[in-house]
Amino acid sequence: MRIGVDLGGTNIAVGVVNEEGRILHRLSIPTRQEKGFGEVIRNMAQLIHKVVTGSGHTLKDMKSIGVGCPGTPDCGNGVLLFACNLGFHKVPIREELQKYIDLPVYIDNDANCAALAESVAGAAKDVDHSITITLGTGIGGGVIVNRRIYSGFNNAAAEIGHMVIAVGGEQCTCGRRGCWERYASASALKNQTIAAAADNPHSLINVISGGDMNRISAKTAFDAAKKADETALRVISDYTKYVAEGLVNVINIFQPCVLVIGGGICAQGEYFLAPVRKYVKESVYCKEAEQTEIKVAEMGNDAGIVGAAMLGLG
């Protein structure tokens, strides 16, 4: 068994995970990063003790601790170099955690952990090469090569959301213009829906939102499109194209056996995915070769803990 820690901006979630990637016991507490890094790690260590005890085991039964965190890690040294939404800068997670618990500690980026979880126990189980893309506030990417995380020579790879698909296009937070996540994240869909609603006062989108732009979410256009609202259908059609164009880039570059898509939008199921698959099939470069399978993420909220625990596989 291994311990997986999902260190997020809101909560710290800890689980005891078996070798098949199943969580045997879990607990979570608020992160409270305002207390400072030392306190956060001390709370994390206490929670680990509690979860291990609660699982009916002891630390001696555990092979390793893995910590998945936002931002850019230095995996070799177990240091979190930079995590904007935690306000952490060069934080020695391994060293600090080992003050309390004598186990090997591994750290990695949360998007990489999600990809590893899908590879070990989820939608990309049993294949060597997979990519997991999460359509959320931004677009998270994790690359699995030969069943292990590929993160480049500096642990900073797989920033697939920051692949420009529209040179000179929309301004991105990263400083460039036209990044994929400006067009294909859940936030982008929400913004596209708000803009379309403003331009088309008679659209059903405005009925659903009660005319309140703050009530428009990434789901609103889907709801209106399913009732045949033309504005919403156009929003979804354009959004589908943006998602698919990025996926085709990823496939042309990586040709993963399985491409896993996660994020709330996947709740739309085939209504969203069938047109994406069609667009991808018609657009990929190599139509003679065997084709990448596009699947929905299966690990859901378990991804962070399971992926982090599996970092210990090496």
CB of 121 to a copy of itself, least distance (A): 19
Residue 213, interface with a copy of itself (CB under 8 A)? no
**Euclidean distance between CA atoms 83 and 227, whole angstroms:** 41
**Euclidean distance between CA atoms 141 and 147, whole angstroms:** 15
Question: Residue 104 or residue 178: which is nearer to a copy of itself going by CB?
Answer: 178
Query: Diameter of the chain by CA atoms?
Result: 64
Cβ count within 10 A of residue 174: 14
Residue 157, interface with a copy of itself (CB under 8 A)? yes
Contact with a copy of itself (CB under 8 A): which of 27, 101, 145, 313?
Answer: 145
From the list 33-41, 146-154, 197-205, 217-225, the region that binds a copy of itself by CB under 8 A is: 146-154
For the chain, the residue count is 314
Contact with a copy of itself (CB under 8 A): which of 42, 59, 128, 298?
Answer: 128
CB of 133 to a copy of itself, least distance (A): 12
Residue 100, interface with a copy of itself (CB under 8 A)? no
Residue 59, interface with a copy of itself (CB under 8 A)? no
CB of 117 to a copy of itself, least distance (A): 20
Asked if 171 and 177 touch (Cβ cutoff 8 Å), the reply is yes
Residue 129, interface with a copy of itself (CB under 8 A)? yes
Asked if 143 and 149 touch (Cβ cutoff 8 Å), the reply is yes
Contact with a copy of itself (CB under 8 A): which of 160, 194, 224, 265?
Answer: 160
Contact with a copy of itself (CB under 8 A): which of 1, 24, 29, 156?
Answer: 156
**Euclidean distance between CA atoms 281 and 248, whole angstroms:** 9
What phi and psi values does residue 215 have, to the nearest 5 degrees?
-95, 0
Residues binding a copy of itself: number (CB under 8 A): 52
Per-residue x/- track, 274-313, a copy of itself (CB under 8 A): --------xx-xx-xxxxx---------------------
Residue 174, interface with a copy of itself (CB under 8 A)? yes
DSSP 256-284: -SEEEEESGGGGGTHHHHHHHHHHHHHH-
Distance of CA 241 to the CA centre of its chain: 21
Residue 249, interface with a copy of itself (CB under 8 A)? yes
From the list 5-13, 153-161, 187-195, 222-230, the region that binds a copy of itself by CB under 8 A is: 153-161
Order of all β-strands in the sheet with 88-91: 72-74, 79-83, 88-91
What is the CA angle 201-191-8, rounded to 5? 145
**For 94, how many CA atoms within 13 A lie in the half-sphere containing its CB?**
18
CB of 55 to a copy of itself, least distance (A): 36
Asked if 269 and 254 touch (Cβ cutoff 8 Å), the reply is no
**Euclidean distance between CA atoms 194 and 172, whole angstroms:** 18
Residue 152, interface with a copy of itself (CB under 8 A)? yes
Question: Residue 222 or residue 242: which is nearer to a copy of itself going by CB?
Answer: 242
With 0-12 / 13-18 / 19 or more C-beta atoms within 10 angstroms meaning exposed / middle / buried, residue 215 is exposed
CB of 175 to a copy of itself, least distance (A): 7
Q: Which residues bind a copy of itself (CB under 8 A)?
A: 72, 81-82, 127-129, 141, 143, 145, 150-160, 162-167, 169, 174-176, 178, 183, 241-242, 245, 248-249, 252-257, 282-283, 285-286, 288-292
